[in-house]
Amino acid sequence: MNVLIIGSGGREHALAWKLSRSPRKPKLLVLPGSDAMAALAERLAGDPLDPAAVVKACKERDIDLAVIGPEAPLAAGLADALRGSGIKVFGPGQAAARLESSKAFAKDFLKRHGVPTAAFEVYDDPSRASDAAAELPLPLVVKADGLAAGKGVRVCKTRREAIAAVQDLMLGGTLGDAGKRVVIEECLQGPELSVLVLLDGKTYGLLPAARDHKRLLDGGEGPNTGGMGAYSPVPDADATLLARVDREVLRPVVAGLKSDGFDYRGVLYVGLMLTPQGPKVLEFNVRFGDPETQAILPLLESDFLDVVEACAQGTLERVNLETKPGSSLCVVLASQGYPDKPATGRRITGLDSEPDPNVVVFHAGTRKTTEGWVTSGGRVLNVVATGADLAQAREKAYAAAARIDFEGMQYRRDVAIGVAVRGG
Ligand code: AMP
Ligand code: GLY
């Protein structure tokens, strides 16, 4: 079986790694992939945002199944184009991808289907939005409607910040068209939880819940990033809480997808805030979370190829989603200057010396040169360890992180510490 993975980051490295462990021994290909992924999969050149070109490449290489990693190709309609040409696809079509590519669309979906979420209003007119920012209770949250690679959300504690956020997004054009429309919403409090729901158009299944650490610095300080670490499962998200999430959030969401006519095949990432009033949806992503996926996949016992293929072909009901006991934790090693101006081209040492079989290092932003590995992006490496419990997974992951080095390397020392109640 020929399986193509679309993407090139740490999440896609983890997807390729897990698929490569399938007893069915698929031939893996990746477009465009990374130097690190080349050890697991054959690289194809091409632009994931050009659906016609990807379809052509798939036809030439007899691809049976495509697994789409990032949101941008999904928003560009890649899943529809591939499905239309008879290829099995893990990833929703363009219409359902709007749940991520338009926050206004996602909020409207949540409201129509009675799913708990922050109170909100959508604004196309900058002067009406500025008036709202000047009047609504503080703190408040201003969100760019469109895709913003993690930079579209401003949590504003002061009037000045709120008005500046509206002006920056709607008039300053910081995020281009993505910020022309904004959502202004109530600020929620509580720890966050990432729930990854597998869907095949008929039924759904859950992966173990995870928690991301979005801020750059220890204690939830510093700017928001793509994610600096994650762990799974989440001790405070016990069976009672997960049953409540299922009842109040997931069932109405899945029923809403069906009644709105979406044949959703892939994974829906439901970002929740666990507020004193109960779980509320912060956001949807229409793809695997990054870095949550790097932490979750090592815990999956079932054959991952069976799982993604079942989602793509509508047979998820026949798959037993089994997870291993224990915990998993991912620490992100980032470049100097990340997230604003990451330094690249720094030589990485210590990558070839990992002695612990329960540790795996996924490459997010690296390049292989004749001199060895060098940094090539903001988030550089994901060090993932599994253990009997969270403390053991933590210890192994940090021991492994300490063996790796590059100039200016930064990482959080507090992944899975004190965050169970604080979030951040
Ligand atoms: P999003 O991309 O919508 O998940 O937002 C990114 C991050 O901003 C979330 O993970 C939260 O930490 C924060 N955030 C988003 N919406 C809210 C909200 N209504 N109240 C408080 N924090 C929020
Ligand atoms: N970890 C959050 C995201 O994937 O967007």
Kindly state the greatest CA–CA separation across the chain.
59
Nearest ligand, measured from the Cα of 330:
2
Q: Mean of the pLDDT values across residues 418-424?
A: 48
> Could you read off the pLDDT of 176-206 as tens digits, one per residue?
889 999 999 999 999 999 999 999 999 999 9
The DSSP code sequence of 113-136 is: TT--B--EEEES-HHHHHHHHHHS
Q: How confident is the model at residue 149 (pLDDT cuts 50, 70, 90)?
A: confident
**326 C-alpha to ligand 1 centroid (Å):** 29
Nearest ligand, measured from the Cα of 211:
2
**174 C-alpha to ligand 1 centroid (Å):** 19
Cβ(332)–Cβ(291) below 8 Å? yes
Flag whether pLDDT at 421 surpasses 90.
no
Structural Rg of the chain based on CA atoms: 21
Ligand 1 binding pocket includes 271 (Cβ within 6 Å): yes
Flag whether pLDDT at 422 surpasses 90.
no
User: Tokens in use for 224?
Assistant: 């928001």
Q: What is the pTM of this model?
A: 0.96
**281 C-alpha to ligand 1 centroid (Å):** 9
> Could you read off the pLDDT of 40-63 as tens digits, one per residue?
999 999 999 999 999 999 999 999
> Could you read off the pLDDT of 313-362 as tens digits, one per residue?
999 999 999 999 999 999 999 999 999 999 999 999 999 877 899 999 99
Across 175-301, where does the E strand assignment appear?
Answer: 182-186, 192-200, 204-206, 211-212, 215-217, 221-224, 229-232, 265-275, 278-285
Closest Cα to residue 384, out of 310, 314, 327? Answer: 327
Hey, CA dihedral for 283, 377, 373, 8, is it positive or negative? positive
Ligand 1 binding pocket includes 100 (Cβ within 6 Å): no
Ligand 1 binding pocket includes 192 (Cβ within 6 Å): yes
**231 C-alpha to ligand 2 centroid (Å):** 13
**140 C-alpha to ligand 1 centroid (Å):** 11
Q: Which residue's alpha carbon is nearest to atom 4 within ligand 2?
A: 289
Contacts of 317 (CB under 8 A, 6+ apart): 200, 202, 203
Nearest ligand, measured from the Cα of 157:
1
Atom of ligand 1 nearest to the CA of 143: 3
> Could you read off the pLDDT of 358-414 as tens digits, one per residue?
999 999 999 999 999 999 999 999 999 999 999 999 999 999 999 999 999 999 999
> What is the domain partition of the chain in residue ranges?
2-93, 119-186, 192-402
CATH classification for the domain delimited by 2-93, as one of 3.40.50.20, 1.10.150.120, 3.10.129.10, 3.40.640.10: 3.40.50.20
Q: What are phi and psi of 58, to 5 degrees?
A: -65, -40
Per CATH, which fold does 192-402 belong to? D-amino Acid Aminotransferase; Chain A, domain 1 (3.30.470)
Pocket of ligand 2 (CB under 6 A): 212, 227, 285, 289-290, 292
**118 C-alpha to ligand 2 centroid (Å):** 19
Ligand 1 binding pocket includes 183 (Cβ within 6 Å): no
Q: What is the CATH number of domain 119-186?
A: 3.30.1490.20
